[in-house]
Amino acid sequence: MNMDNKGELFPVVDEDGHVIGKITRGKAHDGCKVLHPVVHLHVFNSRGDLYLQQRPHWKDIQPDKWDTACGGHVDYGETVEQALHREVSEELGITDYSPHFVKHYVFESQREKELVWVFTTVYDGKVCPSKDELAGGRFWSPEEIKANMGKGIFTPNFENEYREVIMPLKRE
pLDDT one-digit tens code per residue, 54-78: 999 988 788 999 999 999 999 999 9
The partner residues of 117 in beta bridges, in order of sequence, read 39, 104
How sure is the predictor about 4, in pLDDT bands with cuts at 50, 70 and 90? low
pLDDT, residue 60, reads 77
Domain for residue 21, yes or no?
yes
Q: What is residue 117's three-state secondary structure?
A: strand
Domain count across the chain? 1
Domain for residue 4, yes or no?
no
Domain for residue 158, yes or no?
yes
CATH code, 163 = 3.90.79.10
Would strands 35-44 and 113-122 be described as parallel, antiparallel, or unpaired?
A: parallel
pLDDT, residue 2, reads 66
Domain for residue 3, yes or no?
no
Q: Which amino acid is at 115?
A: L
User: CB of 39 within 8 A of CB of 83?
Assistant: yes
Q: Which amino acid is at 60?
A: D
Nearest-angstrom CA–CA distance, 117 and 103: 6
Nearest-angstrom CA–CA distance, 129 and 147: 24
CB atoms within 10 A of CB 121: 17
Domain for residue 1, yes or no?
no
pLDDT one-digit tens code per residue, 87-109: 999 999 999 999 999 999 999 98
Give Cα separations from 124 to 98, 100, 130, 147 (angstroms): 12, 16, 18, 24
Domain for residue 106, yes or no?
yes
Whole-prediction pTM value? Answer: 0.92
User: CB of 116 within 8 A of CB of 106?
Assistant: yes
Give Cα separations from 169 to 47, 69, 71, 121, 123 (angstroms): 15, 17, 19, 12, 17
Owning domain of residue 42: 9-171
User: CB of 38 within 8 A of CB of 127?
Assistant: no
To 5 degrees, how large is the angle CA 7–CA 136–CA 92?
70
Element (H, E) at 22: strand 19-24
